[in-house]
Amino acid sequence: MADMQASGMALTRGDIIARLAGVLAVVMIGALVVGQIGARFVPGWAVLNWVAAGAAVVLALIRLPYVQPITRSFAIGALAVAALVALAAPEAQPAMTRALFQGTAFSAFLTSLGLIRAPVRASRLIGVAASRLFAYPARMRSAAMTFGAQFLSVLFNIGTIGMMSDIAADHAARARTEGKPGIDPVPVTLAALRGTILMTVWNPIGVGFAIVTSAIPGLDPMRFLALSFGAAMLVSAGSLLIGRGAAAADPESTATGRGGRALAAILAAVAGLIAVTLALHRALDISFLVAACLVLPLLAVLWPRLEPAARAPKDTRPLDALSEASATMANEATIFLAAAVIGAGVSVALHALGIAALIENGALLALAIILGCLVLIPLAAALMIPHSIVMVMAAQLFGAGPVGAAHPFALALALCFAWALAISASPISAMSIITGRHLNLPPTRVTFAVNRAFTLYGLATAAALITLTYFLE
């Protein structure tokens, strides 16, 4: 008894919050998944959506002192918007409830995504697979880096940029000691950045894809996956002509051809992950967000079993892993939860002002609105406004309205490219900051100078593809 008391006395406030966060994360993810699937068979199970939402809100509140100031501001704004709508427009409560559930799904998805970060970061297999890209002939290396980074970043996300940059730097250092030419890390880092950015256009377990598929009721996610993937591949191919290619600095690479099996295994894992997510989406009739909440925790459990190097310390408990995941993704999860609520509130206000009527009457052209989303979301990001907020608000405002009903594929493609290019245009995005660190440049220079041509090219090409989609659908 004395030992238990001593142990209890030793618990700090941080320990208690961490344990509570782990429990809340389990409740949030579990209640969301069971509620979404079970309610299709037993309607009464829909109450679990409220349990998940309550856990998400409490989890956000206990993490509030530890997140960035701008995140706290948006969280407080969401509470104010919810209260204002409840008082001024009680008839809009169903829309606010849907937004709360959508925000809860985002929070659960991001926490689940945080679960796989630890095993993926510890994986040696991914590093070996990435190093294989350096062994391609010089004329092919730029394409290998750009397209390879896209597929690797489905698992490794923003870590792909630093990993490939470090491999290039190590290769260059070894080559110099041998008096041989080495791969220039600068174009490799930019190729990794651009590949990772374009991955966000089509990745079915990514945030941007989740936003559009959940906000546009008339969108067929399977067909949109094919469309967005094809569009991203076209833009990727054209991006190879921008700036220096990775091949230019290394006509005779000294990198070995080892790692082919590792690269094949990673590509197979990515394909399998996407296939299982698609299968669950179709078989259970659930959203990609909920499907990912099933697949990602399973991947987090299986990966360390298949690769011992990725295993956590033996004394790590599942609740600790969930607590760490929620802490890692606290800013993103809170912002998306808040953005969903704020976006719904803004949508209610604009509809009250007659915006929907103007669109239906043709006073506001749907194509102009769609292309406006493509341009304005990256513009907001360039002005250091968190693009996630603007993206969610645009999706909430237009996704379920006349624009989303008449042109779901064009709107979804515009929003996904806007999401990707906002990352490219934002000097406060994690990708710009990481790239700047590896290039020894400030993020503003990476965004507004080094990567400017790619962003403008992406906007122009995406606008053409979106316009074509608009007239064909």
DSSP string for 248-263: TT-SS----STTHHHH
Q: Can you give the residue ranges of every domain in the chain?
A: 16-115+343-353
Listing DSSP states for 450-469 in one string gives ITHHHHHHHHHHHHHHHHHH
Q: Most confidently modeled of 8-22, 161-175, 446-460?
A: 446-460
Long-range Cβ contact pairs of 453-458 (< 8 A, separation 24 or more): 453/242, 453/243, 454/190, 454/194, 454/239, 454/242, 454/243, 454/424, 455/378, 455/421, 455/424, 455/425, 457/238, 457/239, 457/242, 458/235, 458/239, 458/417, 458/420, 458/421, 458/424
Predicted confidence (pLDDT) at residue 129 exceeds the cutoff of 90: no
Residues near 404 by Cβ (< 8 Å), separated by ≥ 6?
Answer: 215, 216, 217, 218, 219, 398, 411
Grade residue 70 by pLDDT with cuts at 50, 70 and 90.
Answer: confident
DSSP state of 448: I
- 315 contacts 13 by C-beta, under 8 angstroms: no
Residue labelled with tokens 């090219």: 457
pLDDT value of residue 10: 57
Over residues 440-455, mean pLDDT: 92
pLDDT value of residue 181: 65
Tens digit of each residue's pLDDT (9 = 90 or more) over 336-362: 899 889 888 888 887 777 776 776 666
The alpha carbons of the chain give a radius of gyration, in whole angstroms, of: 23
State CA 454 to chain mean position distance: 20
Predicted confidence (pLDDT) at residue 1 exceeds the cutoff of 60: no
Alpha-carbon span 201 to 465, nearest angstrom: 13
The end-to-end CA distance of the chain, in Å, is: 70
DSSP state of 134: G
Positive or negative, the CA dihedral 423, 429, 435, 436 is positive
pLDDT value of residue 243: 56
Tens digit of each residue's pLDDT (9 = 90 or more) over 361-403: 666 788 999 999 999 999 999 998 888 888 988 888 888 888 9
Side-chain-side CA neighbours of residue 279 (13 Å):
8
Alpha-carbon span 364 to 356, nearest angstrom: 9
pTM: 0.85
Over residues 198-205, mean pLDDT: 92
Positive or negative, the CA dihedral 165, 170, 171, 175 is positive
Quote the mean pLDDT of the chain: 85
Q: Most confidently modeled of 18-22, 24-28, 178-182?
A: 24-28
Question: What percent of the chain stands above pLDDT 90?
Answer: 36
Over residues 5-11, mean pLDDT: 50
pLDDT value of residue 123: 80
Alpha-carbon span 323 to 318, nearest angstrom: 9
Alpha-carbon span 346 to 239, nearest angstrom: 36
Grade residue 182 by pLDDT with cuts at 50, 70 and 90.
Answer: low
Question: For the ranges 50-59, 253-262, 440-449, which has the lowest average pLDDT?
Answer: 253-262
Over residues 37-61, mean pLDDT: 92
Q: Identify which has the larger pLDDT, 315 or 166.
A: 166
Identity of residue 5? Q
C-alpha closest to that of 17 among 49, 51, 60: 60
Grade residue 188 by pLDDT with cuts at 50, 70 and 90.
Answer: confident
Q: If you count them, how many residues does the chain have?
A: 473
Predicted confidence (pLDDT) at residue 258 exceeds the cutoff of 70: no
Residue 43, Cβ neighbours under 10 Å: how many? 9
Listing DSSP states for 266-316 in one string gives HHHHHHHHHHHHHHHHHHHT--HHHHHHHHHHHHHHHHHHH-GGGPPPTT-
Residue 266, Cβ neighbours under 10 Å: how many? 24
Over residues 308-335, mean pLDDT: 78
Tens digit of each residue's pLDDT (9 = 90 or more) over 75-104: 999 999 999 999 988 998 998 999 999 999
